[in-house]
Amino acid sequence: MKKLGIENILLICGAFLFFAILAITLIITSPKGADDGDDDTGYAAYVELGEYKDLPLDIAPMDVADSDVDAVFQELIDSRGDGFTDDANGVADAGDIVYLYYEIDGTGETSFAEGILGENALPEGFDAAVTGLKPGESVVVPAPDGSGADCTITINNIRMPAEINDEYVASLGIGDITTVDGLKQNIRTYLEEEQAASLETQKKDRLLEMCYEGCTFKDIPDELVEPFREVLRGYLDRLVASYSESSDAPVTADDILKETYEHDGISSVDEYLEMYGLHSARVYAMCEKIARNEGIKVEDIDVYSYAAQDWHDETGGDIPFSEYMADKDLAVYVRSALLDAVTDYLYESSDGKAAG
């Protein structure tokens, strides 16, 4: 569950909703950390922490290669559909898009095909047969269906790769980028930012794993695990509804969890909920205890930010926020906010940040 920043809440909810949220938060006046109480209450009572500060972490960043930049650059050009120009007086060469039609003798049917020469996008044998032809010219080849009949191919049009120069880039209207080098540098910066964000996520995930592996857990009562199972149930229900809506055939939770079953050696939704519900409860117990030890708090605006994200994702803003929240458990969002706050603390206090 990803948190929306304050600027995104303003965009999604609008100013009126924002002030409404602030009014709601006034009802709950104190910041939230772990459940109020000593270490022997709440989830924190069921965990003994291991080391969690200054954890050694060495996940090396990967440099953005020129080939990565070139690949994204080419994808951008291809996605626009204007990376080719008509070549009516030229011949079909590798890299050209060829538009053709063909007829297999005896069928009386004409079929059309198009593709970039050299990428095997045309029917078998066509690439070699049409190379060197001009628009309007024909060639006879064996039918691609293996029938042994003759097949007449006629070139309809040829488009050649456009010259991707500064003038072309300027015509794209991408901000103030007007040169090929400028566009590639922009792409490189984007990829480096994406890579840095991915690296930070990897480090945070690994830090949580390291903390978890160093903990000793007691048996957590079922009533404290159930809220986490309930969140997982809701998540699965939404996935099933989403996939079923976009699929021709019904989709079940078992279909969605198939790879998880194989990886974890389980065979049912109930086993999944039991395993990951308990794991989630233990992770939260660990975070709650760290939060108490370090005085980590989450503000009400952070909690409602998580709620606003779910409201937007699930409803698109089609119903009032207050109506959406009427049957929601605010504790779910408190736990999510606290988990992120503790993860941020672990990241800032470890030497893993410096290693990147």
Do 139 and 187 have their domain in common? no
Binning pLDDT at 50, 70 and 90, where does residue 22 land?
very low
pLDDT number for residue 20: 36
- Is 264 domain-assigned? yes
Tell me which of 64-68, 84-88, 105-109, 253-257 is least confident: 84-88
Mark which of 161, 194, 227 sits at the end of a domain. 161
Do 215 and 351 have their domain in common? yes
Mark which of 161, 194, 220 sits at the end of a domain. 161
Do 263 and 316 have their domain in common? yes
Do 56 and 96 have their domain in common? no
Please spell the DSSP secondary structure of 229-295, one letter per residue. Answer: HHHHHHHHHHHHHHHHHHSSS---HHHHTHHHHHHHT--SHHHHHHHHHHHHHHHHHHHHHHHHHHT
Do 50 and 198 have their domain in common? yes
Query: Tell me: the pLDDT tens digits for 218-245?
Result: 999 999 999 999 999 999 998 998 888 8
Which of 177, 192, 160 has its CA nearest to residue 65?
192
- Is 73 domain-assigned? no
Higher pLDDT, 349 or 356: 349
Tell me which of 23-32, 93-102, 333-342 is least confident: 23-32
The letter for the amino acid at 120 is N
- Is 171 domain-assigned? no
Do 150 and 189 have their domain in common? no
- Is 170 domain-assigned? no
Q: What whole-number percentage of the chain has pLDDT above 90?
A: 51
**pTM for the whole structure:** 0.65
Tell me the longest C-alpha to C-alpha distance in the chain: 88
Would the pLDDT of 347 be above 70? Answer: yes
Do 209 and 308 have their domain in common? yes
Q: Find the CATH number of the domain harbouring 155.
A: 3.10.50.40
Do 14 and 56 have their domain in common? yes
- Is 72 domain-assigned? no
Do 49 and 98 have their domain in common? no
pLDDT number for residue 88: 60
Q: Give the whole-angstrom CA distance, residue 106 versus residue 112.
A: 17
- Is 176 domain-assigned? no
Query: Tell me: the pLDDT tens digits for 135-173?
Result: 999 999 999 888 889 999 999 999 887 778 898 888 888
Do 337 and 218 have their domain in common? yes
pLDDT number for residue 248: 79
Do 98 and 192 have their domain in common? no
- Is 283 domain-assigned? yes
Residue 144 belongs to domain spanning: 84-161
- Is 74 domain-assigned? no
Do 335 and 220 have their domain in common? yes
pLDDT number for residue 189: 95
Average pLDDT over residues 263-292: 94
Q: Which range, 25-29, 71-75, 351-355, is most confident? A: 71-75
Beta-carbon contacts of residue 112 (< 8 Å; ≥ 6 apart):
99, 100, 101, 156
Instruction: Please give the mean pLDDT across all residues of the chain.
Output: 84
Domain count, the chain: 2
Binning pLDDT at 50, 70 and 90, where does residue 9 land?
very low
